[in-house]
Structure formats: structure tokens, C-alpha cells
Structure 1
Amino acid sequence: MKLSEQIVLVTGAGRGLGNAIACAFAAEGARVVVNYRASREAAETLCRQIGTDRALALQADVTDAAQVAAMVAAAHAHFGAPVTTVVNNALADFSFDGDARAKAEQIGWQQFSAQFEGSVRGALNIIQSAIPGMRERGFGRVINIGTNLFQNPVVPYHDYTAAKAALLSLTRTMAADLGPLGITVNMLSGGLLRTTDASAATPEAVFDLIAASTPLQSVTTPAEFADAVLFFASPWSRAVTGQNLVVDGGLVKD
């Protein structure tokens, strides 16, 4: 299915990386569901920028299965067709601040649980709600947003990294289960992005160090990362599933 024919649900799309992903799909002619939890004003502004005929802002906490089901149903009713593509981008509240991170002797299970709720439970709720519509269309694309930290934990964010590693496992098991339905499931893993709300606390010196360590001599931007997301939704990835593509300027070799 061409990108221009897809109905794409991007979670956490009101700001940051999600905003860039929604814009990238819209630029290709896709209709976009801009999910948000609290960033209503930003989500609605984005929809006006894209065009209210092609974008719909819907509030839902992705960790709540009932809210997710209602959101997917509302998107179907609004566009007159089911969601074909989901991007699991929503992030539980987190700040990439290495100095303030919880250290090994301090971190508690509650912090792990919060990250697992957002990354794994949230993705599971979205995928399960979207499956019936994808089955109906005989086509589906699930794209999960991961991190390069589980390949190279240069900063040991224990809770965030563990949750994203679990999301990679879910990516691969879902790919095996949903493949017969014509649904592919893949992950894109970035490093620190310049700049999102989550990376705003990162010192400039850290960005400079990362840039100097990459073959491209730069830190990946949200717009650059979003371009790569399009590949997994496009016809050119029709035989690709269960994969994890690292998008970080060549910093980490998967």
C-alpha cells in the first residue's frame, strides 16, 4: 500500500519526535491520527498545519486499553476506513540527564514498571486495537521506536533501556504471529536526538561528543529519524519484518 493511501496512527505525536514523524507521513499524503496524552494544544496546532481534512488529534493514554480502543474506533469513524499503520512512539515521562539518572544502588522497581507500562503495555494496547482493521484490509504496518542504548549503554539508564529491550522482543514475536495476516512489525532505534523535550536536559558538550563519534559528524535530528520511519511503512519494505534498524548517524553498529 502506498504511503499516500495509509491511515497512520502516531502515538505521542503532539511534540518532539512524534510530531516530526506525523509531519513526515503527512508530507507523503498519508492521513494521520495525532495521538496525545496531555499536549492537546500542540496536537491540535499540528493538525491545523497538516490540514484538518487529513489529520485528526485524539487524546488517549496508551497504557489504558479502553482509551486506546476508543481512539482507534474514532479514527476509523472519522476517516471512513481502519488504521493501517501504527507508530509506537509515546514515551513515559523521562529525561535524558545522565547526572540526575537513578544509579544502580538507588533505582527501584517502580521506575522500571513505569517505563515498561509506557513502552511495552502501551505498544501492546495499540497493536491489539489495530489488528482487526489491519486484518480487514489485508495490510498492516507496526513500527516501534526503540533506542541504541541496549546495544551500547554509554549512559546506563537502567529502566528506560530495559523497557526498550523488551519492546524489541515484542517486535520480533509479534512479527512472527502477525506475518500471515500481511502485517509487518519492525523497530527503529535512535540515539540521542537534537533536540526533543526528553533530551533538552542533555549538556551541549554531550551532543558535541556524540557528533564527533559518528561517521556523519552530526547528531541525528527528529526529522532525519522520521524519514527512516517511512521506509518501514513504505512498499519498499514489504519483505522486511522483525527487524531493528539503528538510525544514529553510524554511531552504533547493530
Structure 2
Amino acid sequence: MPSSIRLDQQLVLVTGAARGLGEHLVRAFLREGALVVINYCHSAEAAHKLASAAPEQLLAIQADVTDKAAVQAMFAQAREHFGKPVTTVINNALPSFSFNGDARPSVEQLTLAQLNQQFDGVVGGALNTTQAALAGMREAGFGRIVNIGTNLFQNPVVPYHDYTAGKAALLSLTRTLSQDLGPDNITVNMVSGGLLRTTDASAATPEAVFDYIAANTPLRRVTTPAEFADAIVFFASPWARAVTGQNLIVDGGLVKN
């Protein structure tokens, strides 16, 4: 079995792919010639509009990633449509969340329910997609899983307690999965960003926050979703064939990992 396969031979599934960063991920893989499944939960119109841009390469499928049966059905539908198993999973789906520090609960207000919502969506969703992908990846002798993290692990400058805790748990899962799945030639990595300019999630972020980040970043600008997406494509590419269990921070150098 090959240690890697070209991007244009991969079937990529991106969760939460209809809008924001997800749409940029779809377009980045499409540019490289991959077949791409556009997973969405509620954004049906946006997902199908995106899929219509290249119907031979793109397929929109609705599934709530926290629903294990729905995720299993999505993988089966993708395989039936394209005639091959999903080889590459990008866990991008995010439970409902607004990146506005002024509106987030303080430590006094934080509830276990808020933490569990993020754990269920972030960690539970990634677990469901990983389990659904394993049989096909093992059949292909190749697999790539890339989880989306955050630089707030190292630089918790805003009180996104629930979001950051969920992503931190996902980093731990990334590392343990990489150890467990490495013998199957399946790599598992994380790419962590800061605030991106601009996605639906960051639309509520005050302009002053963007300016502050830009001023404190070596590149003197806020990373764009397209720039972030390119780093994720790297982890699916043959150039990253010996990289697993890693967390790459892509934020213009704001946080040094």
C-alpha cells in the first residue's frame, strides 16, 4: 500500500462545509482536484449552491455530526455516489457559537451544559466521523484526519471557556488517535487558528479586536480563511506523509508553539 496518495485521488469529507471556513476548505480541495463531500447540518441552500459549482467533484450531504447513525449513512452515501471510500476527513463542524468575548459567559456564569454542548459537538462529532471512516480508510490502506483547533490553548485572551475546553479535548483525542491508527497508515493531525478575517463565526467580533491582533502579529495582519485552508490541505498532501499527532498553529505567528 502507498504511504500517501495524491490529492486528486482522494475523496475528502469536510464537516460544517457550507459556509465560513468550511466553504474555503471545500474550494481549496476542489482546486487540487479532489472529490469533496460537503457536509452540512442546517445550511442546505448554501451547501447545494456550493456543490453546483462543480457537480462532478462535489456532493452535498446533510448530517448532524453528533448523530452517529446519520454520520454512518453519510459515509455510505458518499461511497455509493463516488464509487470509492472516503480517505480524508476534515473535522470542521462547530456547535453554535459566536466569537464575541463581550457576550460570552464569565466563569461565574459558565454552566456544565455549555461545556457539554461543545464536547458533544467538537469531540463527539470527530469521534463519529473517525469511526465511520475507519473501514474505508483501512480498505484503501490510507487515511488522513485533520481536526480544527484553536490557538486559545496557548493564548487564552478571551473567555471562551466552553469552546476552548472542547477544542483542548479534541487535541488530546488527536494525539491518542494518531498513536492508535498509525499502523493503518492513517495520520491524525490538528491545525489551530486564531481569529480569522472573516467567517460567520467571527462576524460578531468587534473591529478593535481584529486591529489588536493584527498589531501584535509578526505579519501585521489577521489570517484569512483561505490561508488557513491551505495549511489543512498540506496535512492531506503527500508532503505530510510522515507527520502525525501534531498541532500546527496557523495565525501569522501570533502564538509561538
Please report the TM-score for the alignment, with normalisation by the length of structure 2. 0.98
Are positions 1:11 and 2:15 aligned together?
yes
Are positions 1:74 and 2:77 aligned together?
yes
Tell me the SS of whatever aligns to 1:214: coil
Checking the alignment, whether the CA contact within 8 Å between 2:150 and 2:192 is kept in structure 1 is yes
Unpaired stretches in structure 2, ≥5 consecutive residues = none
CA RMSD of aligned residues (A): 0.4
Checking the alignment, whether the CA contact within 8 Å between 2:63 and 2:70 is kept in structure 1 is yes
Instruction: Report the equivalent of 1:24.
Output: 28
Are positions 1:177 and 2:177 aligned together?
no
Runs of 4+, deviation exceeding 6 Å? none
Distance 2:52 2:31 in 1: 14
* Cα distance per residue 1:165-208 (max 9 Å; x no partner): 00000000000000000000000000000111111110111101
Which residue among 139, 143, 149 is the counterpart of 1:140?
A: 143
Checking the alignment, whether the CA contact within 8 Å between 2:115 and 2:162 is kept in structure 1 is yes
Instruction: Report the equivalent of 1:195.
Output: 198
Instruction: Report the equivalent of 2:111.
Output: 108
Q: How does 1:40-119 map to 2 (within 5 A)?
A: 40-49=44-53, 51-119=54-122
Q: How does 1:149-164 map to 2 (within 5 A)?
A: 149-164=152-167
Letter in 2 for 1:44: H
Letter in 2 for 1:42: A
Pairs aligned (count): 253
1:25 Cα deviation from its structure 2 partner: 0.2
Identity fraction in percent: 69
Distance 1:251 1:32 in 2: 31
Which residue among 120, 125, 128 is the counterpart of 1:125?
A: 128
Letter in 1 for 2:140: R
